[in-house]
Structure 1
């Protein structure tokens, strides 16, 4: 715990745009382990626990996005996997030429591509303490060079013929509109494909919530919510913008944010709640983490979501009871779902598939919980069990897990790191780590351009390919574009799996 504490302190120290985060525990562990090798004994169980917690929570959070975007982002995913395979083969050849062992090369690949789970797989596959040394040498090189690459790419405007700017790139706005002619909502641009929502309706001086399928009449006043471009198109079709805001009148109809904390609601779509029919209400937006989402009918609500509901005043208390609206409940861990999910993940990881030559392949404690977490995250719930966690809980566990794992790895690998870090071998390892990152960037970005992807999605995809949240944070600080996050989400979990498989293949053939 001393290593975890000091490592967390080191992790928040800024080096320009770079922070080491959880990897600070690795460097502190290496230093203390070099001073006293006995400190690293008997920590294997703690290491496995920390790793399993991390990858499982990553999988649960990424599962829905991964499978929902599978078809649309499949070319980007294939590109990421192909790049990992090509770079792993290149690393093996160059590493052999430089006289570096298989364990060192596998660790360098995991470190340069900042994959903690891949380090665990590399150590297990090669049985060499050099894997942790290679990881420690390659990690800072990988993060620094990846940030430089993203800085050069994310603001570019190369042609993205297959990746136009999304309508949601500018966020969500609400516009009060005067209706000039009778029309059906289905005729309004953006209504059928749910690019907009309409909530407030003022007719003959009376304010209420627009009912589903209700036609609009000349003289009506409505509130249109959606991306700026979609709201502008709907306004032009309906009539003109009002000089006053309909939301200023909160007498008969009001809008309130509610926290989704009810297990009965979590894991269900907005449409399944049937709020218009049951309460005469409509959900227009959902705040999840730092993102505002338009409340499409197929959007699955999660514990901790903050939904913006427009409803008659007399229905607000019932809505609060339905959704839960408890901050305390969304800060709690469902130990039953978490424990069962981890058990399933570790069991799947323990399954060994025989390979030719007497070898065997298994997902291990790195990929097993990750794959199961992704599947359960996509399912959302099974009967009373809700697999998805509140985002705050997920992020907390995701921070603790790598700290435990990297601290134990550092303590056990300290002596070996001290022997090789400041030697010719360490220099060759650093050069190979740089080659891994630069070759990855060249192949991935060239492929993204060939596929017609935009620079923001390519930069986000490369950040997910490398897998370091600091790189994503740097990219989003440079541009505000949802394609950055989408590219990251498409490759983050898949990239982890690809790197795990790559280092296991290295161990098998080495």
Structure 2
């Protein structure tokens, strides 16, 4: 056994890869309603790290790389919708601040009942909330050993408790009167419709509001592409595309459903999905691209990952998007030339923009700000790349630099970074966890961490429901509130909903700032 441990201690990459493999196996096992997924790397890291303290030493740079990859790619994905969602999410962000303050107060009060020191409480607060504030906690407590003990024990407690809470929320449906409808949840449908009244395309409910698209127009046996200026006559047939409810309203206005599917006739007008790989289109508004002039057609849908969106002028095209274009049959090649339609090109990672963006995030995270009362503030290697990613994700492109990553590439880098980060945390925390977990102080840390997290989480989740926000936005907000990457991954595995990532990014960034300040206050009391 000692020979194996000596080998693993001398070859850190082998150790990490073994933990990743074993963690993947553990992550697939169901424990009641739970399946740890990527968090399996954390628990296997704790087990392997407990075998020999050497296995968790010197992993700082590797762990930092993992958290940078994860946070930067999450920021890019969330940044695209953060500004538009800010009006909905500001109240949830305020509730998150209240919840974090309540957690700090509860942890201090309960910690004293269990005889925990201030360094214990500062460490457990940073650990149960998976916060980069552990660096600020260690500095504020002058590197006290109790700080890392509290962090090591509370970290896995936070993962388990948060997963249980998310499992009760992410898949629920409750009244969400102040939230937008999820595009992933609503889906899109296309209905061939017979026109029973004299009207126009612009007069159709939802058309001018970008809630529906009308593509095909069959008139007197001739198929043509519909244009916004077309008047519709009795007996015409059109194809209406949009969310089911919006399409139903449009069909009721126009006439009735047709027994004929207009898309079956592809002799004159055809449709196809094209992969967006043309660099000139990346980061551009769809409305700024002359699709009509260059193809004599129109785009009705944009598919990004598993999300199918109705095409409107404000959609920003990203590499790897698949646009459904309706064009004259003889112009399909022109459409392919316009969008690129190259798997080889889109699979190439833009290392310049990825490296530059992540590096700027690290620089932002390293900026140290002195606050009144001797407190210091630094975003760190997690929140800095996240905030920078959100900024660049909202900007999309700067001159020739295209910040967006293909959806599949973003997911791969995100998962890779997450698993590396969790494996390193587990390996480094294993010895402290096993030495203290079964002690009186260890029990106290488990209880204080559990109760305080449940209290703070309930404040956030109850507020989200009372504010009329969806359960999915609440789940994403809670994952960001906790700051645990594995919780975000778990929430996304329970519901395919873009609101989860958006809320996570908002609460993670704000929560990191609040945690860094509160953990220093805890250390002083």
Q: TM-score of the superposition, structure 2-length normalised?
A: 0.87
Residue 235 of structure 1: aligned partner: 251
Q: Which moved more, 1:131-140 or 1:192-201?
A: 131-140
CA distance in 2, matches of 1:145, 1:499: 18
| 1:206 counterpart = 2:208 | no
Could you report, residue by residue, the CA deviation over 1:60-106 in whole angstroms, capped at 9, with x for unpaired residues? 11111112211133222322233223323322333344333445434
Distance in 1 separating the partners of 2:444 and 2:160: 18
**Cα offsets for 1:196-246 (capped at 9, x unmatched):** 001111123221211233222332211000111111111111111110100
Gaps of 5+ in 2: 1-12
Show the 5 A alignment for 1:377-456.
377-455=393-471
Asked if 1:469 corresponds to 2:488, the answer is: yes
RMSD: 2.7
Q: Aligned pair 1:307/2:323, yes or no? A: yes
How far apart, in 2, do the equivalents of 1:30 and 1:146 lie?
18
Listed as ranges, the matches of 1:109-120 within 5 Å are: 109-113=125-129, 115=130, 117=132
Residue 495 of structure 1 corresponds to 507
Instruction: Please tell me whether the aligned partners of residues 141 and 433 of structure 1 are also in contact (alpha carbons under 8 angstroms).
Output: yes
**Match of residue 215, structure 1, among 231, 234, 249:** 231
1:15 aligns with 30
The reply to whether residue 271 of structure 1 matches residue 287 of structure 2 is yes
C-alpha separation between the residues in 2 aligned to 1:470 and 1:494?
16
Counterpart-to-counterpart distance in 2, 1:22 and 1:458: 21
Match of 2:310 in 1: 294
Query: In terms of mean alpha carbon deviation, does 287-296 or 67-76 score higher?
Result: 67-76
Greater Cα shift, 401-410 or 365-374: 401-410
Q: From the superposition, tell whether residues 124 and 339 of structure 1 become closer, same or farther in structure 2 (CA, over 3 Å).
A: farther
Count of paired positions: 502
Report the more deviating stretch, 51-60 or 192-201.
51-60
How far apart, in 2, do the equivalents of 1:45 and 1:153 lie?
A: 35
Is residue 189–residue 242 contact of structure 2 (8 Å, CA) maintained in 1?
yes
Offset of 1:108 from its aligned partner? Answer: 3.2
Q: Which of residues 66, 76, 97 is equivalent to 1:50?
A: 66
Work out whether residues 37 and 490 of structure 2, in 8 Å CA contact, stay in contact via their aligned partners in 1.
no
Cα distance change of structure 1 residues 25 and 315 upon mapping to structure 2, 3 Å threshold: same
Tell me the CA shift for residue 157 of structure 1: 6.1
Range with greater deviation from structure 2 (490-499 or 453-462)? 453-462
Query: What per-residue deviation string (whole Å, max 9, x for no partner) do you get for residues 469-510 of structure 1?
Result: 34414642xxx8x5xx42x23431222223423442244231
After superposition, give the CA deviation of every residue in 1:139-171 in whole Å (9 maximum; x if it has no partner): 444344444434545666655553486798431
Cα distance, 1:269 vs structure 2: 1.5
Task: Indicate conservation of the 8 Å contact 1:102/1:506, yes or no.
Answer: no
Which 5+ residue runs of structure 1 have no aligned equivalent?
Answer: none
Shift of 1:51: 1.8
**CA deviations over 1:364-394 (Å, ceiling 9, x no partner):** 2121111111100100001111101011111
Instruction: Compute the displacement of 1:264 (Å).
Output: 1.0
Give the CA deviation at 1:120: 6.1
Question: For the structure 1 residues 501 and 459, does the alpha-carbon distance in structure 2 shift closer, same or farther, using more than 3 Å as the test?
Answer: closer
- Where in structure 2 are the equivalents of 1:61-210 lying within 5 Å? 61-113=77-129, 115=130, 117=132, 127=143, 133-153=149-169, 160-163=176-179, 169-210=185-226
Q: Cα gap change, 1:455/1:337 in structure 2, threshold over 3 Å: closer, same or farther?
A: closer
Confirm or deny: 8 A CA contact 1:172 1:226 kept in the other structure: yes
CA distance in 1, matches of 2:466, 2:456: 15
Seen in structure 2, the aligned counterparts of structure 1 residues 129 and 276 have a Cα distance that, compared at 3 Å, is farther
- Post-superposition CA distance 1:403-460 (Å, at most 9, x none): 3333333333333222112222221111122112320232123322332335554445
